[in-house]
Amino acid sequence: MYSSYKVWSPNSVNRTDLRCPSDCYKKRPNDVHHCCVCRAIPEWHLSSNYTLLSLEYTKRDGSALVIGDTHNYLPAILNHRDGYLQRLPTNLCDFINIREIDLKRNKISTISDISCLSNLDKLDLSYNKIYQIYNDTFSTLTHLRILILTHNGLTKLDPFSVAGTSLSIGHLDCSWNNLTDIDISNIIPENDFCEYKFNSNKITQIVNNGGFTLNLDKIYEGGLVELTGNLFTKFIDFEELGIKDIKVLGKLMSFGFVLSDAKFECDCHMEPYLELAEPILKTIWRDYFNMSCWKPLEYRGLSIPNLVLEKKLDLFICNITEKCPRYCRCYHQPHKRTTIVNCTDVNLEFLPDYVPEASNLTLLFKNNKIKKMEARDYFANATFIDISGNGFSEVENNVSIQIRNDINFLMQEHNLQDIPRGFQIFNPCLAQIGRAEIKCDCKHMWIKDWLNNKNAAQCENKTLVICVTDSGQIPILSINRDDLCVTSIIVYQTLSIILCVLSILLFVVSVILYYYRYEIYLLFRHIKSKSNKISVINKYDVYFSFDDDNPFLRYWVFNYLDLKLKQAGYRNFIPCRDTLPGAVQEENMINTITNSRNFLVLLSKTYEDDDNIWTKLEWKYIWHHFYNNRDRRIVIINYDLIDRPVDLKLKAFIRLGLDVDFANRRHILMDEVKLKLGLPYCAQQIYIKNAKPKFLSSKLSVFRQETKYEENHKSKLAIVSSSSVCLEDII
């Protein structure tokens, strides 16, 4: 008898006590190991060289002890069926050589003490009351090959509880229990197995609660997993089970999952696996693959393998209700890698506002009543659009921007009077416009160029543009450019001339405006200025700016101009006289200019000399402050009668005649200066308190209003002279 067996050891554990039938070695080399996993028997069964143990009950509650020699090193077998044992014997761990235990038809509910029997080869606990197996229950039983747990009322198997990496269980029977789900880690062990039975439970799904992942570096030598007699309706979703790349399932092709009586819903979840299995289905055909569809009703009874072999994988779809337009049908079709929105013949008057979100949409809006093709965000995700048979007459401008230029786009049977310019990005053999009749002119020549560039002559049955002319209907590809563009060329030339003239005028005006920008600014400011109104109290009424190196000018300023203005009540600041010794010159200049209401600039020949650095800087700050404050005034006294100052801003004052001529032959220079400066602060306070006197606005020209000026000026001087007290420092 020994001659028909050979010594064999599993890959997962080093054993010398197993014997494999010689018949297994006659099989193909790749099948020898699996045959031995299924048919190997222990050496002690062949030699009958083992000892039998017995039980003795110690209490009426089902407690018992093992009876036997604990020092006997022969393989031991414990067999006690049809008893009332409620727990494992308390001294079980004393018998470390126990190889087989058969406690069928007892009342055992807990087996935590079994972990000490590391040499155990077979365990039969069927027909007991074990409801849960933990992941550490058998973790140390590395020699365990046969485990029978049928008819226990078992409700839960922890992940990796019967198929952990340290286990080598080849025969597992968990049938006829109350399991509602099964973890994938318990049906795909890394070590070779023969048969796992989970039939006749209440399993509805395979789950992955233990974080199972396939070892990509290992080829799984699987066996048969029996799952008949359960409540499966959905096909195994391998992605949810942690197998993200479905091609990895090739590692499990030696497995057999028996689900022949499952009431499967043949939908999109099943298709990816079937598509992967299609090329090798004939090679690995087994009877247990003969699964059939239960749902949908029109597929009931159809053999799933036959559907695969007959190239009908496009039948495996999933209906979508979320965001599916009313009266339409939406479904995901993985075999064609698309999500279809079918709104054909449902009397739509407008394109739906939304459709299911997907990356590859097939949009079918054929034969409806849509009159306007509006832009929709979901166009960007479409790979096929059929809007033919609607008779639409208008297309929104940005439709062509949203639609990809490489998709099939069917638009036949429309009423378009023109082709949108944006369509030139499409291939007319893919974006099928059908027959379009339009009244052509020169602006439509782009259509001819577009069709020529895209070789549309090869697909006139898909896109054909007809020009309606006085000579009849002519395909635009056959029409001559000169026939359409004569009138347009004349119009174009006329428009070109007009545009050129306007461009030249615009350029000239721009140059003039730029050249006289300061003059324009001063005119607008003069027009909008508000006379005799002070919004801010300033420390000085007049800030003098002049070349103080000019002795004659300086003498005239000190002994005449300053004196006259002071007599009129003005608070004056002359930098060369009033600046405190030791002060930072630029900082003091900025502060004084900021606290001055008006600026009196005496323009001399040396005012703009390059050597007069401080004078230039002074003028810069004066202009800046004047520009940013609407109530400030600049009065220019042209001392040396300069016609063309270097500075453009000073030049603007001279050009507009806003300066005071020093050689005033009417001898009213001071009157004109005071008029331009406006009333000093003290005089204005008195003026505001009195009734409104009639005086000439500063906006009126002295030269144009001589008589009125003299009368009004006398009134103002009378008001100024009536002020006997003027505060020198208000701020």
Q: What is the pLDDT of residue 81?
A: 95
Task: Provide mean pLDDT across the span 381-394.
Answer: 93
Q: Name the range with the highest mean pLDDT among 214-218, 475-479, 527-531, 618-622.
A: 618-622
Q: What is the pLDDT of residue 703?
A: 38
Q: What is the pLDDT of residue 706?
A: 42
Q: What is the pLDDT of residue 175?
A: 97
Q: What is the pLDDT of residue 39?
A: 93
Using alpha carbons, list the distances in angstroms from residue 611 to 589, 608, 666.
18, 8, 35
Q: For the segment 455-487, what is each residue's pLDDT rounded down to a tens digit? A: 888 888 889 999 988 778 888 888 887 777 765
Per-residue exposure over 673-710, b if at least 16 CB sit within 10 Å of its own CB, e if not: bbbbbbbbbbbbebbeeeeeeebbebeeebeeeeeebe
Is 3.40.50.10140 the CATH number for 521-721? yes
Ranking 305-309, 389-393, 406-410 by mean pLDDT, the lowest is 305-309
Q: Could you tell me if 170 and 15 are in contact, meaning their C-beta atoms sit under 8 angstroms apart?
A: no
DSSP 3-state assignment of 722?
coil
Q: Could you tell me if 347 and 325 are in contact, meaning their C-beta atoms sit under 8 angstroms apart?
A: no
Q: For the segment 349-367, what is each residue's pLDDT rounded down to a tens digit? A: 999 999 999 989 999 999 9
Task: Provide mean pLDDT across the span 220-226.
Answer: 84
Q: Could you tell me if 85 and 103 are in contact, meaning their C-beta atoms sit under 8 angstroms apart?
A: yes
Ranking 5-9, 25-29, 480-484, 592-596 by mean pLDDT, the lowest is 480-484
Other beta carbons within 10 angstroms of residue 359's beta carbon come to 11
The residue that leads in pLDDT, 79 or 3, is 79
Residue 671 dihedral angles phi and psi, to the nearest 5°: -65, -40
Q: For the segment 572-593, what is each residue's pLDDT rounded down to a tens digit? A: 999 988 888 877 888 888 999 9
Going by C-alpha positions, the residue among 573, 572, 571, 550 that lies closest to residue 639 is 550
Q: What is the pLDDT of residue 504?
A: 93
The residue that leads in pLDDT, 668 or 205, is 205
| Residue 161: pLDDT over 70 | yes
Q: How far out from the chain centre does Cα 657 lie?
A: 64
Going by C-alpha positions, the residue among 519, 496, 515 that lies closest to residue 507 is 515
pTM of the model: 0.54
Q: Could you tell me if 54 and 67 are in contact, meaning their C-beta atoms sit under 8 angstroms apart?
A: yes
Class of domain 50-291: alpha beta
Residue 475 dihedral angles phi and psi, to the nearest 5°: -60, 135
| Residue 716: pLDDT over 50 | no
Residues recorded for the chain: 731
Spell out the domain ranges in the chain.
1-49, 50-291, 318-484, 521-721
Residue 132 in tokens:
């849960």
Q: What is the pLDDT of residue 728?
A: 35
Q: What is the pLDDT of residue 719?
A: 36
Q: What is the pLDDT of residue 725?
A: 34
Q: Which DSSP letter does residue 658 get?
A: -
Task: Report the sign of the C-alpha dihedral through residues 584, 586, 589, 593, in that order.
Answer: negative
Q: For the segment 298-337, what is each residue's pLDDT rounded down to a tens digit? A: 888 888 888 888 888 888 999 999 999 999 999 999 999 9
| Residue 700: pLDDT over 70 | no
- E-strand ranges in 470-614 read 472-475, 540-545, 572-573, 596-603
Q: For the segment 674-684, what is each residue's pLDDT rounded down to a tens digit? A: 888 888 876 55
Quote the percentage of the chain above a pLDDT of 70. Answer: 87
Task: Provide mean pLDDT across the span 117-132.
Answer: 96
| Residue 686: pLDDT over 80 | no
Class of domain 318-484: alpha beta
Going by C-alpha positions, the residue among 480, 432, 483 that lies closest to residue 454 is 432
Residue 517 dihedral angles phi and psi, to the nearest 5°: -60, -35
Asked, colleague to colleague, whether 318-484 and 521-721 share their fold, the answer is: no
Q: Any bridge partners for residue 329, and if so which?
A: 342
Q: What is the pLDDT of residue 192?
A: 86
Q: What is the pLDDT of residue 322?
A: 94
DSSP strand pairing (361-364 vs 338-342): parallel
DSSP strand pairing (64-67 vs 51-57): antiparallel
Q: What is the pLDDT of residue 61?
A: 87
